[in-house]
């Protein structure tokens, strides 16, 4: 039985290194027979969460912008993969805004179970993605039916295309193929 997989690329740079990881994850998940949809936040209008908590009553966000359909897609997905560049040893601001705005999912009968994190950074030390992964872990902790199922880090990539030939591309692809 195929799963509904949602991949969210949070980089605003076209042809970014983290988006290349997302594309390989997508390729692997599709080859494993899953229904895959990829969303890029590039060009999307997504405002900051106001903390009004109206979403707990409305079951959607009160802010009417491009986040509304993304919240629904996240709700309906069995698997979600987030791809982000690492800036200052943390997830991108766009990704943080996205997960804050996904507060409407809290308390809902969401479908997602497995969450994946795909990261890319100029720095190459193994500890570089830890804060970003831990930040996503805080979000995951609020959804007890879900778990961090895996993460991939591509270090030493800064400029567009630096990731070409990087071993993390194969890891992202293999992670995608593991979704059954």
Q: What is the mean pLDDT of residues 100-104?
A: 95
| Tens-place pLDDT, residues 4-30 | 999 999 999 999 999 999 999 999 999
pTM over 0.95: yes
Query: What pLDDT sits at residue 59?
Result: 85
HEC string for the chain: CCCEEEEEECCCCCCCHHHHHHHHHHHHHHHCCCEEEEEECCCCCCCCCCCCCCHHHHCCCCCCCCHHHHHHHHHHCCEEEEEEEEECCEECHHHHHHHHHHHHHCCCCCCCCEEEEEEEECCCCCCCCHHHHHHHHHHHHCCCCCEEEEEEEEECCCCCCCCCCCHHHHHHHHHHHCCC
| Tens-place pLDDT, residues 139-156 | 999 999 999 999 999 999
Band the pLDDT of 1: cuts 50, 70, 90.
Answer: confident
Q: What is the mean pLDDT of residues 85-100?
A: 97
Q: What is the mean pLDDT of residues 134-138?
A: 97
Query: What pLDDT sits at residue 81?
Result: 98
């Amino acid at each position: 039985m195929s799963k509904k997989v949602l991949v969210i690329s949070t980089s605003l740079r076209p042809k970014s290194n983290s988006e290349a990881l997302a594309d390989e994850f997508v390729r692997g998940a599709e080859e494993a027979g899953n229904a895959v949809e990829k969303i890029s936040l590039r060009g999307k209008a997504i405002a900051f969460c106001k903390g009004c908590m109206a979403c707990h009553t409305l079951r959607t966000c009160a802010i009417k912008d491009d986040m509304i359909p993304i919240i629904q897609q996240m709700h309906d997905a069995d698997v979600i993969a987030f791809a982000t560049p690492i800036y200052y040893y943390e997830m991108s601001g766009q990704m943080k805004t996205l997960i804050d705005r996904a507060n409407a999912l809290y308390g809902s009968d969401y479908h997602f179970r497995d969450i994946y994190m795909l990261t890319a950074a100029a720095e190459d030390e193994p500890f570089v993605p830890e804060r970003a992964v831990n930040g996503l872990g805080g979000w995951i902790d609020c959804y007890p039916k879900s778990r961090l199922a895996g993460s991939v880090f591509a270090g030493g990539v800064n400029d567009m295309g630096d990731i070409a030939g990087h071993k993390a591309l194969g890891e992202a692809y293999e992670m995608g193929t593991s979704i059954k």
